[in-house]
Amino acid sequence: MKPPSLADELARGKEALLLDWRRRVQGTVDPEGAMIVEIIDGVPTFIDELVAMLRQNERSMGGAPDAARANELAVDHGSQRFHAGFSLGAVIREYGILRECLLNLIRERRLAVDIDELQVMMEALNVAGVNAAEQYVRERDQVIERQSQTYFGFIAHELRNPLGSALLAAQVLQRRSAPQSDATVARLVRNLAILRDLIDNSLISVRIQELGRNRSLDVADISLRDMVLDVRDELSGDTEEKAISVRIDGAAGLQGDPRLIRSAVTNLLRNAAKYTRRGGTIDVRIRSDHDLTSIEIEDECGGLPDGKTEELFTPFVQRGCDRSGFGLGLAITKDAVEAHHGTVQASNLPGKGCIFMASFPARAALA
Protein backbone atom coordinates (compact mmCIF):
# COMPACT_ATOMS: atom_id res chain seq x y z
CA MET A 1 0.00 0.00 0.00
CA LYS A 2 1.36 3.38 -1.04
CA PRO A 3 1.99 5.69 1.94
CA PRO A 4 0.08 9.00 2.01
CA SER A 5 1.83 11.83 0.24
CA LEU A 6 2.62 15.20 1.76
CA ALA A 7 -0.26 16.66 -0.27
CA ASP A 8 -2.68 14.10 1.23
CA GLU A 9 -1.48 14.80 4.76
CA LEU A 10 -1.74 18.57 4.33
CA ALA A 11 -5.27 18.24 3.00
CA ARG A 12 -6.23 15.90 5.84
CA GLY A 13 -4.55 18.01 8.53
CA LYS A 14 -5.59 21.42 7.19
CA GLU A 15 -7.83 22.37 10.11
CA ALA A 16 -5.24 21.34 12.72
CA LEU A 17 -2.58 23.22 10.77
CA LEU A 18 -4.73 26.38 10.72
CA LEU A 19 -5.41 26.14 14.46
CA ASP A 20 -1.70 25.79 15.16
CA TRP A 21 -0.86 28.73 12.87
CA ARG A 22 -3.56 30.95 14.35
CA ARG A 23 -2.42 30.15 17.90
CA ARG A 24 1.16 31.10 17.08
CA VAL A 25 0.23 34.27 15.16
CA GLN A 26 -2.54 35.73 17.30
CA GLY A 27 -1.22 38.17 19.85
CA THR A 28 2.34 38.00 18.55
CA VAL A 29 2.42 39.48 15.04
CA ASP A 30 -1.13 40.75 14.49
CA PRO A 31 -2.09 44.34 15.40
CA GLU A 32 -3.94 44.82 18.67
CA GLY A 33 -7.65 44.31 18.27
CA ALA A 34 -7.45 42.50 14.93
CA MET A 35 -10.41 40.23 14.26
CA ILE A 36 -9.95 36.48 13.78
CA VAL A 37 -11.32 36.72 10.24
CA GLU A 38 -8.59 39.29 9.44
CA ILE A 39 -5.90 37.08 10.91
CA ILE A 40 -6.93 33.96 9.01
CA ASP A 41 -7.84 35.77 5.80
CA GLY A 42 -6.58 33.85 2.71
CA VAL A 43 -4.38 31.32 4.49
CA PRO A 44 -6.83 28.38 4.07
CA THR A 45 -6.99 28.98 0.32
CA PHE A 46 -3.21 29.30 0.16
CA ILE A 47 -2.89 25.87 1.82
CA ASP A 48 -5.32 24.46 -0.75
CA GLU A 49 -3.13 25.86 -3.52
CA LEU A 50 -0.04 24.42 -1.85
CA VAL A 51 -1.74 21.00 -1.84
CA ALA A 52 -2.62 21.41 -5.53
CA MET A 53 1.00 22.33 -6.35
CA LEU A 54 2.30 19.24 -4.51
CA ARG A 55 -0.13 16.98 -6.37
CA GLN A 56 0.81 18.55 -9.68
CA ASN A 57 4.44 17.90 -8.80
CA GLU A 58 3.60 14.21 -8.18
CA ARG A 59 1.88 13.91 -11.56
CA SER A 60 4.63 15.70 -13.48
CA MET A 61 7.40 13.72 -11.80
CA GLY A 62 9.41 16.70 -10.69
CA GLY A 63 8.30 19.31 -13.25
CA ALA A 64 7.78 22.84 -12.02
CA PRO A 65 4.20 23.19 -10.68
CA ASP A 66 2.01 26.16 -11.55
CA ALA A 67 2.36 28.68 -8.70
CA ALA A 68 0.38 31.50 -10.32
CA ARG A 69 -2.67 31.19 -8.09
CA ALA A 70 -0.60 30.87 -4.91
CA ASN A 71 1.37 33.97 -5.88
CA GLU A 72 -1.84 35.87 -6.59
CA LEU A 73 -3.13 34.92 -3.14
CA ALA A 74 0.11 36.13 -1.57
CA VAL A 75 -0.22 39.51 -3.30
CA ASP A 76 -3.80 39.82 -2.02
CA HIS A 77 -2.56 38.80 1.43
CA GLY A 78 0.05 41.58 1.45
CA SER A 79 -2.56 44.13 0.41
CA GLN A 80 -5.04 42.97 3.05
CA ARG A 81 -2.36 43.03 5.75
CA PHE A 82 -1.43 46.63 4.95
CA HIS A 83 -5.03 47.85 5.17
CA ALA A 84 -5.64 45.82 8.34
CA GLY A 85 -2.79 47.61 10.11
CA PHE A 86 -0.16 44.84 10.19
CA SER A 87 3.48 45.83 10.09
CA LEU A 88 5.79 44.71 7.28
CA GLY A 89 7.75 42.62 9.76
CA ALA A 90 4.53 40.88 10.80
CA VAL A 91 3.77 39.96 7.18
CA ILE A 92 7.20 38.40 6.78
CA ARG A 93 6.99 36.55 10.11
CA GLU A 94 3.58 35.10 9.21
CA TYR A 95 5.10 33.05 6.41
CA GLY A 96 7.93 31.99 8.68
CA ILE A 97 5.39 30.79 11.25
CA LEU A 98 3.45 28.93 8.55
CA ARG A 99 6.69 27.20 7.52
CA GLU A 100 7.24 26.17 11.18
CA CYS A 101 3.69 24.82 11.38
CA LEU A 102 4.13 22.77 8.20
CA LEU A 103 7.43 21.31 9.42
CA ASN A 104 5.84 20.59 12.80
CA LEU A 105 3.04 18.69 11.05
CA ILE A 106 5.62 16.62 9.18
CA ARG A 107 7.46 15.82 12.43
CA GLU A 108 4.35 14.98 14.44
CA ARG A 109 3.02 12.63 11.79
CA ARG A 110 6.47 11.23 11.03
CA LEU A 111 5.98 11.67 7.33
CA ALA A 112 8.53 10.29 4.92
CA VAL A 113 8.75 13.42 2.80
CA ASP A 114 10.36 13.29 -0.61
CA ILE A 115 13.02 15.94 -1.15
CA ASP A 116 11.15 17.23 -4.24
CA GLU A 117 7.99 17.70 -2.18
CA LEU A 118 9.90 19.60 0.48
CA GLN A 119 11.51 21.78 -2.18
CA VAL A 120 8.14 22.64 -3.75
CA MET A 121 6.70 23.55 -0.35
CA MET A 122 9.66 25.71 0.70
CA GLU A 123 9.89 27.52 -2.64
CA ALA A 124 6.16 28.24 -2.57
CA LEU A 125 6.44 29.72 0.92
CA ASN A 126 9.52 31.79 0.07
CA VAL A 127 8.02 33.23 -3.12
CA ALA A 128 4.70 33.89 -1.41
CA GLY A 129 6.43 35.72 1.42
CA VAL A 130 8.34 37.90 -1.04
CA ASN A 131 5.22 38.66 -3.09
CA ALA A 132 3.18 39.57 -0.01
CA ALA A 133 5.94 41.83 1.33
CA GLU A 134 6.47 43.54 -2.02
CA GLN A 135 2.73 44.24 -2.38
CA TYR A 136 2.61 45.58 1.16
CA VAL A 137 5.50 47.94 0.39
CA ARG A 138 3.91 49.05 -2.90
CA GLU A 139 0.64 49.98 -1.23
CA ARG A 140 2.39 51.66 1.69
CA ASP A 141 4.57 53.71 -0.67
CA GLN A 142 1.53 54.74 -2.71
CA VAL A 143 -0.22 56.02 0.41
CA ILE A 144 2.91 57.89 1.54
CA GLU A 145 3.28 59.41 -1.93
CA ARG A 146 -0.35 60.55 -2.00
CA GLN A 147 -0.05 62.07 1.46
CA SER A 148 3.21 63.81 0.53
CA GLN A 149 1.71 65.20 -2.68
CA THR A 150 -1.35 66.46 -0.83
CA TYR A 151 0.79 68.16 1.79
CA PHE A 152 3.19 69.57 -0.79
CA GLY A 153 0.30 70.85 -2.91
CA PHE A 154 -1.22 72.55 0.13
CA ILE A 155 2.06 74.28 1.03
CA ALA A 156 2.69 75.36 -2.57
CA HIS A 157 -0.83 76.74 -2.88
CA GLU A 158 -0.49 78.69 0.36
CA LEU A 159 2.82 80.16 -0.84
CA ARG A 160 1.49 81.16 -4.25
CA ASN A 161 -0.70 84.10 -3.21
CA PRO A 162 1.80 85.96 -0.97
CA LEU A 163 4.55 85.33 -3.51
CA GLY A 164 2.36 86.71 -6.29
CA SER A 165 1.71 89.83 -4.24
CA ALA A 166 5.43 90.22 -3.54
CA LEU A 167 6.24 89.89 -7.25
CA LEU A 168 3.60 92.46 -8.20
CA ALA A 169 4.96 94.89 -5.59
CA ALA A 170 8.51 94.35 -6.85
CA GLN A 171 7.41 95.03 -10.43
CA VAL A 172 5.76 98.29 -9.35
CA LEU A 173 8.93 99.19 -7.47
CA GLN A 174 10.97 98.39 -10.59
CA ARG A 175 8.98 100.87 -12.65
CA ARG A 176 9.47 103.58 -10.01
CA SER A 177 13.05 102.87 -8.98
CA ALA A 178 15.94 105.25 -9.42
CA PRO A 179 18.60 104.33 -12.01
CA GLN A 180 21.15 103.42 -9.33
CA SER A 181 18.82 100.76 -7.88
CA ASP A 182 17.66 99.29 -11.21
CA ALA A 183 19.98 96.27 -11.12
CA THR A 184 19.04 95.33 -7.54
CA VAL A 185 15.31 95.61 -8.15
CA ALA A 186 15.59 93.72 -11.45
CA ARG A 187 17.39 90.90 -9.63
CA LEU A 188 14.62 90.83 -7.00
CA VAL A 189 11.92 90.66 -9.69
CA ARG A 190 13.76 87.93 -11.57
CA ASN A 191 14.24 85.73 -8.49
CA LEU A 192 10.65 86.18 -7.35
CA ALA A 193 9.52 85.20 -10.85
CA ILE A 194 11.67 82.05 -10.68
CA LEU A 195 10.06 81.11 -7.36
CA ARG A 196 6.60 81.79 -8.81
CA ASP A 197 7.32 79.55 -11.79
CA LEU A 198 8.60 76.77 -9.56
CA ILE A 199 5.48 76.88 -7.39
CA ASP A 200 3.14 77.03 -10.39
CA ASN A 201 4.86 74.08 -12.05
CA SER A 202 4.83 72.15 -8.78
CA LEU A 203 1.08 72.65 -8.42
CA ILE A 204 0.51 71.51 -11.99
CA SER A 205 2.76 68.49 -11.42
CA VAL A 206 0.68 67.50 -8.38
CA ARG A 207 -2.49 67.96 -10.43
CA ILE A 208 -1.17 65.73 -13.23
CA GLN A 209 -0.19 63.02 -10.76
CA GLU A 210 -3.71 63.16 -9.32
CA LEU A 211 -5.01 62.53 -12.84
CA GLY A 212 -2.80 59.46 -12.97
CA ARG A 213 -4.86 58.05 -10.10
CA ASN A 214 -8.02 58.05 -12.26
CA ARG A 215 -9.27 61.54 -11.44
CA SER A 216 -10.98 63.13 -14.44
CA LEU A 217 -10.03 66.44 -16.01
CA ASP A 218 -11.98 69.58 -15.13
CA VAL A 219 -13.18 70.12 -18.68
CA ALA A 220 -14.36 73.51 -19.97
CA ASP A 221 -14.56 75.34 -23.31
CA ILE A 222 -11.34 77.26 -23.96
CA SER A 223 -10.55 80.04 -26.41
CA LEU A 224 -6.92 79.35 -27.18
CA ARG A 225 -6.34 82.83 -28.62
CA ASP A 226 -7.74 84.54 -25.50
CA MET A 227 -5.57 82.34 -23.33
CA VAL A 228 -2.44 83.16 -25.35
CA LEU A 229 -3.23 86.88 -25.10
CA ASP A 230 -3.56 86.60 -21.31
CA VAL A 231 -0.29 84.70 -21.03
CA ARG A 232 1.46 87.22 -23.30
CA ASP A 233 0.34 90.04 -20.99
CA GLU A 234 1.48 88.05 -17.96
CA LEU A 235 4.94 87.62 -19.48
CA SER A 236 5.20 91.19 -20.77
CA GLY A 237 7.85 92.03 -18.17
CA ASP A 238 10.12 89.31 -19.59
CA THR A 239 9.53 90.23 -23.24
CA GLU A 240 9.72 94.02 -22.78
CA GLU A 241 13.00 93.74 -20.90
CA LYS A 242 14.55 92.07 -23.97
CA ALA A 243 12.53 94.12 -26.53
CA ILE A 244 10.92 90.94 -27.87
CA SER A 245 7.72 91.19 -29.90
CA VAL A 246 5.08 88.44 -29.72
CA ARG A 247 2.90 88.01 -32.81
CA ILE A 248 -0.26 85.92 -32.62
CA ASP A 249 -1.97 84.51 -35.70
CA GLY A 250 -5.19 82.52 -35.79
CA ALA A 251 -7.84 81.48 -33.30
CA ALA A 252 -9.42 78.20 -32.23
CA GLY A 253 -11.34 76.65 -29.39
CA LEU A 254 -11.02 73.34 -27.64
CA GLN A 255 -12.32 71.47 -24.62
CA GLY A 256 -9.86 70.79 -21.85
CA ASP A 257 -8.71 71.48 -18.35
CA PRO A 258 -8.03 75.27 -18.37
CA ARG A 259 -5.44 75.01 -15.64
CA LEU A 260 -3.39 72.39 -17.46
CA ILE A 261 -3.76 73.98 -20.90
CA ARG A 262 -2.73 77.36 -19.50
CA SER A 263 0.29 75.77 -17.85
CA ALA A 264 1.37 74.25 -21.18
CA VAL A 265 0.91 77.54 -23.05
CA THR A 266 2.68 79.54 -20.31
CA ASN A 267 5.68 77.23 -20.20
CA LEU A 268 6.04 77.22 -23.99
CA LEU A 269 5.84 81.03 -24.22
CA ARG A 270 8.10 81.57 -21.23
CA ASN A 271 10.62 79.17 -22.71
CA ALA A 272 10.53 81.10 -26.00
CA ALA A 273 10.95 84.45 -24.23
CA LYS A 274 13.85 83.13 -22.17
CA TYR A 275 15.91 81.94 -25.13
CA THR A 276 14.91 84.34 -27.92
CA ARG A 277 17.62 86.85 -28.75
CA ARG A 278 17.25 90.46 -27.62
CA GLY A 279 15.10 92.38 -30.09
CA GLY A 280 13.81 89.15 -31.64
CA THR A 281 10.30 87.94 -32.44
CA ILE A 282 8.15 85.09 -31.17
CA ASP A 283 5.47 83.88 -33.60
CA VAL A 284 2.44 82.10 -32.18
CA ARG A 285 0.24 80.29 -34.69
CA ILE A 286 -3.10 78.79 -33.65
CA ARG A 287 -4.79 76.35 -36.01
CA SER A 288 -7.85 74.10 -36.06
CA ASP A 289 -8.14 71.20 -38.49
CA HIS A 290 -11.31 69.12 -38.11
CA ASP A 291 -11.01 67.55 -34.63
CA LEU A 292 -7.47 68.72 -33.92
CA THR A 293 -6.47 72.06 -32.40
CA SER A 294 -2.82 73.08 -32.32
CA ILE A 295 -0.62 75.91 -31.10
CA GLU A 296 2.76 76.47 -32.69
CA ILE A 297 5.37 78.72 -31.09
CA GLU A 298 8.44 79.73 -33.09
CA ASP A 299 11.30 81.44 -31.28
CA GLU A 300 14.63 82.95 -32.25
CA CYS A 301 16.95 81.09 -29.92
CA GLY A 302 19.55 80.51 -32.63
CA GLY A 303 18.80 76.81 -33.02
CA LEU A 304 20.06 73.73 -31.21
CA PRO A 305 22.91 71.28 -31.76
CA ASP A 306 21.96 68.11 -33.65
CA GLY A 307 20.08 65.54 -31.56
CA LYS A 308 19.20 67.94 -28.73
CA THR A 309 15.49 68.33 -29.51
CA GLU A 310 14.76 64.84 -28.11
CA GLU A 311 16.08 65.90 -24.69
CA LEU A 312 14.02 69.08 -24.31
CA PHE A 313 11.04 67.42 -22.61
CA THR A 314 13.16 65.51 -20.09
CA PRO A 315 12.96 66.86 -16.51
CA PHE A 316 15.97 68.91 -15.33
CA VAL A 317 17.38 69.28 -18.85
CA GLN A 318 17.94 72.93 -19.85
CA ARG A 319 18.34 74.31 -23.35
CA GLY A 320 21.28 76.67 -23.15
CA CYS A 321 24.02 78.19 -21.08
CA ASP A 322 21.55 80.15 -18.95
CA ARG A 323 21.14 77.79 -15.98
CA SER A 324 18.32 79.75 -14.31
CA GLY A 325 15.19 77.74 -13.61
CA PHE A 326 14.91 74.03 -12.97
CA GLY A 327 14.42 72.49 -16.42
CA LEU A 328 10.90 71.38 -15.50
CA GLY A 329 8.71 73.61 -17.66
CA LEU A 330 8.81 71.62 -20.89
CA ALA A 331 8.53 68.29 -19.04
CA ILE A 332 5.38 69.53 -17.32
CA THR A 333 4.10 70.87 -20.65
CA LYS A 334 4.47 67.38 -22.13
CA ASP A 335 2.60 65.81 -19.20
CA ALA A 336 -0.20 68.40 -19.41
CA VAL A 337 -0.64 67.90 -23.16
CA GLU A 338 -0.56 64.11 -22.91
CA ALA A 339 -3.16 64.24 -20.13
CA HIS A 340 -5.49 65.50 -22.89
CA HIS A 341 -4.40 62.68 -25.24
CA GLY A 342 -2.46 65.27 -27.23
CA THR A 343 1.11 65.46 -28.48
CA VAL A 344 3.92 68.00 -28.23
CA GLN A 345 7.04 68.11 -30.35
CA ALA A 346 9.97 70.37 -31.12
CA SER A 347 11.60 71.17 -34.46
CA ASN A 348 15.00 72.76 -34.89
CA LEU A 349 15.62 75.66 -37.26
CA PRO A 350 19.43 75.71 -37.43
CA GLY A 351 20.85 79.20 -37.10
CA LYS A 352 17.43 80.70 -36.38
CA GLY A 353 15.46 79.06 -33.57
CA CYS A 354 13.00 76.32 -32.63
CA ILE A 355 9.35 75.54 -33.22
CA PHE A 356 7.29 73.91 -30.49
CA MET A 357 3.90 72.52 -31.48
CA ALA A 358 1.27 71.20 -29.06
CA SER A 359 -1.76 69.48 -30.58
CA PHE A 360 -4.97 68.66 -28.74
CA PRO A 361 -8.11 66.76 -29.68
CA ALA A 362 -10.74 69.51 -29.88
CA ARG A 363 -13.46 67.26 -28.43
CA ALA A 364 -11.94 64.02 -27.22
CA ALA A 365 -12.86 61.62 -24.44
CA LEU A 366 -10.88 63.36 -21.70
CA ALA A 367 -11.81 61.22 -18.71
> Could you tell me the domains of the chain?
6-146 (1.10.490.70), 216-361 (3.30.565.10)
- Could you report the per-residue pLDDT of 104-158, keeping only the tens digit for each? 888 888 888 888 888 888 888 899 899 999 999 998 988 887 777 676 666 776 7
Give the CA radius of gyration of the chain: 31
Identify which of 174, 219, 329 has the alpha carbon closest to the alpha carbon of residue 264.
Answer: 329
Q: Would you give the DSSP letter of residue 180?
A: G
For the segment 16-22, the average pLDDT, to the nearest whole number, is 86
Q: How far apart are CA 221 and CA 338, in angstroms?
A: 18
Q: Which of 43-47, 115-119, 342-346 has the highest mean pLDDT?
A: 342-346
- How far CA 148 is from CA of 206, 209, 291, in Å, comes to 10, 12, 38
- The CA-based angle 99-67-110, given to 5 degrees, is 35
pLDDT band at 38 (very low <50, low <70, confident <90, very high): low
- Could you report the per-residue pLDDT of 270-319, keeping only the tens digit for each? 889 989 999 999 999 999 987 889 999 999 998 887 766 667 777 655 55
Tell which wins on pLDDT, 62 or 241.
241
The H or E element that residue 282 is part of is: strand 281-289
